[in-house]
């Protein structure tokens, strides 16, 4: 029997969720948490699901969670799925956005990748939905556009973000939870600590880094990541995106964000404050499993009292682990935070973060260069980008030749992505042809 916090309310309507990108890692992690909550009697409704093209996994999710409708961006895959299921399947980009805008639900969970998450987030905000966002690029690419829109359309003055937008991704979520748990307004924040593992190339020399191949950038010191995110982590592109995201999400200046090398990946984020003349520090540290933060966010946006659940045990069962000794024990380790990334070793991090305060389309351009060049890099059959130097050269070329638009509209931001995609592809093709 669920007990409610607000006992004066006679009838409590459970929250309904739209999980976009449900077949990806973060999407599946979100549904893991929802499954555990439902198992323990927590009333939660998965009303809608969305994906790009992974219809086999989506069909499994349909059978388990029984959504009212789903969206599949790949039209051919959408038609294939529609022949197998008895619920509406919205297809293509237009169908995807139509489902977000027209249907009734309370919370939109964005676990999409890259620039694909921009318009779904904007449309969900305009529809007045609470946003749980695991996709850092919409905020990184659009600067303060999306965060300002959220403050206008879904305001919450008590929230660390000033709106009903809650981050799910590791470091931003850790910072949000620290602010929320200890009731710290962002105006009191003196520093935000952004931990950085250093990625796969951190121990290498500069010469070794620029000559690193796709194989050299595989792996992560502590996390199991997908191919693109492994490379973003190795080059610290991912950390630069988080830097810009945090700056805009929490409305702080860049000077307050301190990126610290933390190879153990046990500290996920922290804040420093000065309260009544006393310096204080707050950190989230522990399990290297984003589902803990997802679980917190899911229950944070609802009015039901959270049942007592042993998440370690539930995740162990879900993952098929036989023992619990692979979980983090804070009492058995000494944790260290070192200085910021060295500019000479990781120029892409510094090239991106120096534009964090630049209200222009350059942020969209920098993301587009990464998506295109790293996309070629991880394609085993594609020889266009062979080394880290090729990626760095692409960034340098576009930064020198692209003319950003100041104070852009959303339309101009989206158009700039297409423009820089073309510039980057042309540069890489010409460079490859000249090398043959």
Domain of residue 395, residue span: 358-435
**Residue 389 contacts residue 233 (beta carbons within 8 Å):** no
Whichever domain contains 393, its CATH number is: 1.10.1740.10
What would the pLDDT profile of 232-264 be if each residue is shown by its tens digit?
Answer: 999 999 999 999 999 999 999 999 999 999 988
The one-digit pLDDT tens for each residue of the chain (436 residues) are 122 222 222 233 468 999 999 999 999 999 999 999 999 988 889 999 999 999 999 999 999 999 999 999 999 999 999 999 999 999 999 999 999 999 999 999 999 988 999 999 999 999 999 999 999 999 999 999 999 999 999 999 999 999 999 999 889 999 999 999 889 999 899 999 999 999 999 999 999 999 999 999 987 766 667 778 889 999 999 999 999 999 999 999 999 999 999 988 888 999 999 877 888 999 887 777 889 999 999 988 876 777 788 888 898 888 886 544 443 344 445 567 888 888 889 999 999 999 999 989 999 999 999 999 999 999 988 889 999 999 999 999 999 999 999 999 999 999 999 999 999 999 999 999 988 7
Q: Give kind and range of the element (H or E) at residue 398.
A: helix 388-401
- Residues 430 and 296 reside in one and the same domain: no
| b/e per residue 379-417 (b: at least 16 CB within 10 A) | eeeeebbbbbebbbbbbebbbeebebbeebeeebbbebb
Say if 245 falls within a structural domain: no
Say if 414 falls within a structural domain: yes
- Residues 2 and 134 reside in one and the same domain: yes
Tokens for 134?
A: 């695991």
- Residues 303 and 385 reside in one and the same domain: no
What would the pLDDT profile of 366-418 be if each residue is shown by its tens digit?
Answer: 999 999 999 999 998 888 999 999 999 999 999 999 999 999 999 999 999 99
Provide Rg for the chain, Cα atoms: 22
d(CA 357, CA 390): 27
Start-to-end CA span in the chain (Å): 70
- Residues 9 and 103 reside in one and the same domain: yes
Tokens for 423?
A: 């510039």
Say if 115 falls within a structural domain: yes
Tokens for 361?
A: 């389309």
Say if 222 falls within a structural domain: no
- Residues 309 and 372 reside in one and the same domain: no
Say if 179 falls within a structural domain: no
- Residues 407 and 297 reside in one and the same domain: no
d(CA 337, CA 350): 19
Q: Indicate the number of domains in the chain.
A: 2
- Residues 164 and 93 reside in one and the same domain: yes
């Amino acid at each position: 029997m669920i007990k409610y916090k607000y006992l004066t309310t006679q009838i409590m309507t459970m929250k309904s969720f739209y999980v976009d990108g449900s077949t990806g890692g973060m999407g599946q992690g979100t549904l893991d948490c929802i499954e555990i909550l439902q198992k323990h009697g927590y009333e939660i409704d998965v009303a809608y699901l969305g994906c790009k093209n992974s219809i086999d996994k989506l069909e499994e999710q349909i059978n388990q969670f029984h959504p009212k409708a789903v969206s599949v961006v790949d039209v051919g895959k959408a038609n294939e799925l529609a022949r197998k299921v008895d619920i509406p399947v919205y297809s293509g980009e237009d169908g995807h956005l139509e489902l977000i805008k027209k249907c009734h639900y309370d919370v939109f969970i964005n676990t999409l990748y890259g620039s694909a998450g921009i318009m779904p987030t904007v449309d969900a905000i305009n529809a007045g939905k609470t946003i749980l966002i695991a996709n850092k690029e919409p905020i990184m690419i659009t600067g303060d556009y999306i965060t300002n829109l959220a403050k206008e359309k879904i305001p919450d003055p008590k929230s660390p973000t000033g709106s009903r937008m809650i981050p799910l991704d590791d470091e931003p979520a850790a910072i949000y939870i620290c602010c929320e748990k200890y009731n710290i307004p962002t105006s009191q924040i003196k520093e935000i600590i952004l931990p950085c593992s250093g990625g796969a190339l951190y121990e290498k020399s500069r010469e070794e880094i620029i000559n690193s191949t796709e194989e050299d950038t595989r792996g992560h010191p502590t996390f199991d990541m997908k191919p693109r995110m492994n490379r973003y982590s190795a080059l610290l592109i991912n950390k630069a995106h988080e830097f810009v995201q945090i700056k805009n999400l929490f409305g702080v200046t860049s000077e307050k964000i301190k990126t610290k090398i933390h190879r153990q990946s046990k500290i996920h984020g922290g804040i420093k404050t000065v309260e009544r003349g006393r310096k204080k520090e707050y950190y989230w540290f522990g399990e290297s499993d984003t589902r803990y933060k997802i679980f917190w966010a899911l229950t944070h946006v609802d009015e039901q009292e959270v049942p007592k659940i042993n998440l370690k045990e539930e995740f162990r069962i879900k993952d098929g682990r036989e023992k619990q000794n692979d979980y983090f024990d804070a009492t058995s380790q000494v944790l260290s935070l070192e200085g910021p990334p060295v500019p000479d070793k990781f120029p892409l991090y510094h090239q991106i973060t120096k534009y964090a305060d630049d209200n222009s389309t350059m942020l969209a351009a920098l993301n587009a260069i990464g998506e295109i060049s790293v996309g070629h890099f991880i394609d085993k059959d594609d020889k266009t980008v062979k080394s880290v130097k090729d990626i760095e050269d692409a960034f340098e070329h576009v930064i020198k030749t692209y003319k950003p638009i100041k104070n852009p509209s959303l339309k101009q931001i989206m158009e700039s992505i297409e423009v820089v995609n073309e510039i980057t592809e042309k540069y890489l093709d010409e460079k490859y042809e000249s090398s043959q």
